[in-house]
Amino acid sequence: MRQAETLGEQLARKGISRRAFLKYSAYLASIMALPPTASKVLAEGLAQARRQAVIWLSFQECTGCTESLTRAQGLTLEDLIFDFISLDYHHTLQAVSGEAAEDARRRSMEENKGKYIVIVDGSIPTKDGGVYSTIAGHTNVDMLAETIEDAFAVVAVGTCAAFGGLPYAKPNPTGAVPVSKLVGDKPLINIPGCPPVPEAMTGTLSHILSFGELPALDHMNRPLAFFGETIHDRCYRRPFYEEGKFAKSFDDEGARKGWCLYELGCKGPIAYNACATVKWNGGISFPIQSGHGCFACASPNFWDQGGFYKPLSASIAPAGTAAGIAAAAGAAVGAGTAWMARRRSKAIAEEHAGNEEG
């Protein structure tokens, strides 16, 4: 009987008021850049949803993605597991082990055929038959293929799963590949980041639960709600960039005054992520606010970009000019985001030209 309950019924039985639920839905709608009217639709969709079966596979990874999820604000891990999803298998969090764990995975696949979601964190080694990472005697390649066969959708969380991450970096001794290289016939969502923003994970799952479909994605299969703009677009230090005020070292006067960190290697102009808006630790801060430049950790090949503290270009065009902004955005070509960079560069340049005319 309890399995047939909707999420709304479960929450009511646990004493969670409709007001509290609407408040959470409004928060979720806001961080997903949905219009205010969408919060009610989101709440109604979640209330009518039933627990979503989720199988979480961890391959070549550091457990950082799971650590990020357990520290999500607004929607806690306990809510996510016990109210919103049925986390049937998770290498890091599950209590069972051995054959009992594998039985749980296969049972969930059978009982929820065509409906379950597979979440993957970590890249998949393919060299030498994939022997560099095995679970229960099976390579990651084989386990992934078996698990996604009857899945509704696949979600690659973290840059390792989405783009290969650290294991994929040169010289890539294990032949690591991202999930996208092995998933061709299933809906795929990439939620990159090292680690990914926790709200990007919980928000994406909540969207699927509420609307029964994948959220709007960009050309890299990233949710536009969280990856539609660059860190540079929303960075509170951007006015200093426009004024040509750059910190020259991490302890100089400019750094103490909060000037732009571009010359210290900040990759904000090519980094598509929600760090500058959602932030971390309950909206307290994010790396740039803490005084450190962005690594663009949610971008492809970010480990191979020539150093975290190397500026995007050898020289900076005159500060505050459309050319200077375009040069920063154009550097995204080397990070695999050329298309988005050109579009963003053109938009910023036109905006700047309009401001100069005004």
Would you say 260 is a known binding-site residue?
Answer: yes
Would you say 219 is a known binding-site residue?
Answer: no
Same domain, 3 and 149: no
Kindly compute the dihedral angle of the four CA atoms of residues 139, 141, 144, 145, in this order, to the nearest 10 degrees.
Answer: -120
Q: Which of 174, 206, 225 is the last residue of a domain?
A: 225
- Judged against a pLDDT cut of 70, whether residue 75 lies above it is answered with no
In tens, the pLDDT along 286-301 reads: 999 999 999 999 999 9
| Percentage of the residues of the chain whose pLDDT score is greater than 90 | 49
- Judged against a pLDDT cut of 80, whether residue 316 lies above it is answered with no
Same domain, 12 and 61: no
Same domain, 289 and 327: yes
Rounded CA Rg of the chain: 22
Domains: count for the chain: 3
Would you say 275 is a known binding-site residue?
Answer: yes
**Average pLDDT of every residue of the chain:** 81
Would you say 138 is a known binding-site residue?
Answer: no
Q: What is the pLDDT of residue 1?
A: 35
Same domain, 238 and 353: yes
Would you say 292 is a known binding-site residue?
Answer: no
Same domain, 175 and 55: yes
Mean pLDDT to the nearest integer, 8-32 = 75
- Judged against a pLDDT cut of 80, whether residue 33 lies above it is answered with no
Would you say 294 is a known binding-site residue?
Answer: yes
Would you say 232 is a known binding-site residue?
Answer: yes
Q: Which of 225, 246, 265 is the last residue of a domain?
A: 225
Same domain, 28 and 98: no
Q: What is the pLDDT of residue 3?
A: 52
Same domain, 289 and 273: yes
Q: Which of 173, 200, 225 is the last residue of a domain?
A: 225
Same domain, 98 and 207: yes
| Confidence band, pLDDT 50/70/90 cuts, at residue 314 | very low
Would you say 62 is a known binding-site residue?
Answer: yes
Weakest-pLDDT range from 38-47, 83-92, 312-321: 312-321
Question: How many angstroms separate the CA atoms of 354 and 37, rounded?
Answer: 32
Domain that holds residue 174: 51-225
- Judged against a pLDDT cut of 70, whether residue 328 lies above it is answered with no
| Confidence band, pLDDT 50/70/90 cuts, at residue 344 | very low
Beta strands (DSSP E) in the chain are: 52-58, 85-90, 117-121, 124-125, 134-135, 138-139, 153-157, 176-177, 188-191
Decide which of 22 and 290 is more confident.
Answer: 290
| Confidence band, pLDDT 50/70/90 cuts, at residue 318 | very low
Same domain, 258 and 180: no
CATH of residue 262: 4.10.480.10
Mean pLDDT to the nearest integer, 313-318 = 44
| Percentage of the residues of the chain whose pLDDT score is greater than 70 | 81
Provide the residue type at 343 as one letter: R
293: closest CA among 258, 345, 333? Answer: 258
In tens, the pLDDT along 204-217 reads: 888 888 888 898 99
- Judged against a pLDDT cut of 70, whether residue 194 lies above it is answered with yes
CATH of residue 114: 3.40.50.700
Same domain, 59 and 22: no
Same domain, 158 and 171: yes
Q: What is the pLDDT of residue 305?
A: 78
Same domain, 238 and 323: yes
